[in-house]
Amino acid sequence: MTTLTQRSKTVSVRKLSLSERLYLPAILKGMLITLGHVFKRKPTIKYPEEQREFAPVYRGQHVLKRDEAGAERCTACGLCAVACPAEAITMDSAERKKGEEHLYREEKYASIYEINMLRCIFCGLCEEACPKEAIFLTDRIVPSSFTRGEEIFGKDKLVETPDQPIDVSKRQEAGLAAFKKNKQHYHNRTFRDARPGVAAH
């Protein structure tokens, strides 16, 4: 008979020999095995003091970036929500009023932007879809909470504070950034690209 793997073993139901029935040799053998583990390296990472080293592309809690002038980059286009396989993102948009130019980069902005961290699978597709370089996944771990409601992160938790920008340079791959700047692609064009005369604020 041909076997699927080479790992099959023939099992015998022979009577145990005297030394096996005595248990003691087997017990000693077992105890030597456990004793061997005394000298093994412990894989434990003592968390608050030690931290696991993260991969540079680790995908953790999201951040909504601001631009160099401190205005929110997100324009509430909804592409991230469409791309999200877990349907974790919801948003509402609003029009930028006069005098709010320092707050929002584009003429339309997200008045509500929520990610349900319990639904999110941290795939990073939102980041990939975003034409505005607005959303990034960072190496921060989403904190645990006692209620489900607390796990729906609004803009208060997602948007970075202007004085404490969150470094995402590790995730801004040069090639990708160049691709996103390529105005040849329709989805990379912004309102301003269509009307080059309009000056940036």
Binding site for ligand SF4 (CB under 6 A): 74-80, 83-86, 88-89, 91, 110, 115, 120-126, 129-130, 132, 134-135
Say how far apart CA 21 and CA 15 lie, in whole Å.
9
**Residue 159 partner contact from ligand SF4, another protein, none using kind-dependent CB cut-offs of 5 to 8 Å:** none
**Residue 76 partner contact from another protein, ligand SF4, none using kind-dependent CB cut-offs of 5 to 8 Å:** ligand SF4
Pair of tokens at residue 157: 């938790």
Q: How many residues bind another protein (CB under 8 A)?
A: 14
Instruction: Output 48 or 197, the one with its CB closest to another protein.
Output: 48
As a residue count, the chain comes to: 201
Find the DSSP H helices in the chain.
Answer: 18-21, 24-38, 79-83, 125-129, 155-158, 174-181, 191-194
Instruction: Output 9 or 42, the one with its CB closest to another protein.
Output: 42
* Residue among 19, 20, 31, 85 that touches another protein (CB under 8 A): 31
Say how far apart CA 1 and CA 13 lie, in whole Å.
21
Residue 62 backbone class (left: φ over 0; alpha: ψ -120 to 50; beta: rest): beta
* Residue among 7, 14, 37, 98 that touches another protein (CB under 8 A): 37
169 lies in the site for another protein, by CB under 8 A: no
Say how far apart CA 138 and CA 124 lie, in whole Å.
10
Least Å from the CB of residue 100 to ligand SF4? 16
Instruction: Output 33 or 194, the one with its CB closest to another protein.
Output: 33
